[in-house]
Amino acid sequence: MIRRLNYTGRKKIPRSAITIRLLPTDDGGYAFAAEIDLSALGFPNDARVFIEAYNTASYMRFSFGTIATRRDPKDLRLVDITPRPLPKFRLKVVDQTTRHGLLLGVADKLVPLRPHEDIANKQSLLPVDFCDLGEQIWRLELSDWPLLELNNRIDAIGEAARSGDSFLALVYPEVLRRILNEIVVVLDEIDPEFDDSEWTSLWLRYVCSLPGVNEPPSGITEEAKARRSEWIDDAVQAFCRSRQARRRFETALSKDAG
């Protein structure tokens, strides 16, 4: 991963300062509502506040006035954003007193709450979205922030994903494996302390908190890469152990057998 320098002292806006919730619209799309509190961050009064919504190649930008005078746009419908994959958001505070707007603060990759989702899920490591996946049961979307998509054609899939023993034993280990592969092999990110607002760091921290899991091996040699694959295996094993995946799967099997 190429490191980028923050040479103008741009601030990181904590995720706790903003809550975004998707709202269904009559035409089957989404609008959104935003709660923002930037009062404690010391931005100049005339700095402009923007929220950007985006996914894959679609993008929209909304102006929320200035730090001193917030003006919510009248129309917050995401008309240019495709409903899938679930849109994400970015909050920006911009100094527009010069030709090239200088970023004073950013909160990036904000995952919105779905219309009736509990606020407790706001900072979920693995947000869930329900959509039509045809014959597929689940799908992992890895752009920007890992998102577990579940097939909304299946009744009670949400409950199964939340507390089903079979689901836990069969699906989540594979989800974890793919996420860790993306982080340590594809993105070459191994530092759990790199950035506490990046999903890569948050996932590494979570995995390293499991009993018996150390930080991923460093190094750029083939041997080091091989050790990372072994580390992923060990981490998935530790996850299964901590969740008692085998025992729970056996219990589920015996229930099925009647």
Partner 1 sequence: MGTLLRALNTTGIERFQGYLTDLRDGTPGDPPWELLEEMGCTAELPVDMMIEPPNFPNRLALGEYLCDVLAPLRPEETDRNTGLWAWLSLFLFDQVCPTGKHPIRRPGSDYRHIPDFGYRTRHRHLLYGPYQVYRRHGHSSILLLSGPVHSESRIYHDIAGRQDLIANRGVVEATAMLYLDRARGVPKQGAQAETASPGTIRRFVRVLQQLDVNYDIYGMSGKDIVTLLPSEFDAWRKQKRTRRASRS
- Which residues are at the interface with partner 1 (CB under 8 A)? 2, 4-8, 10, 28, 50, 52, 54, 56-59, 61, 82-84, 92, 94, 96, 99-103, 135, 141-144
CB 130 within 8 A of CB 147: no
**Shortest CB 135 distance to partner 1, Å:** 7
**Shortest CB 61 distance to partner 1, Å:** 6
Structure tokens at 229: 């694959």
Sheet of 138-141, strand order: 128-131, 147-151, 138-141
Nearer to partner 1, 101 or 217 (CB): 101
**Shortest CB 4 distance to partner 1, Å:** 5
Question: How far out from the chain centre does Cα 146 lie?
Answer: 5
At residue 106, φ and ψ (nearest 5 deg) are: -145, 140
* Whole-number Cα distances in Å, 240 to 18, 210, 211, 243, 249: 34, 10, 11, 5, 11
Nearer to partner 1, 11 or 15 (CB): 11
Nearer to partner 1, 127 or 238 (CB): 127
Q: Any bridge partners for residue 110, and if so which?
A: 89
Nearer to partner 1, 81 or 238 (CB): 81
Distance CA 130, CA 121 (A): 15
Nearer to partner 1, 8 or 45 (CB): 8
**Shortest CB 21 distance to partner 1, Å:** 21
**Shortest CB 131 distance to partner 1, Å:** 9
Q: Any bridge partners for residue 28, and if so which?
A: none
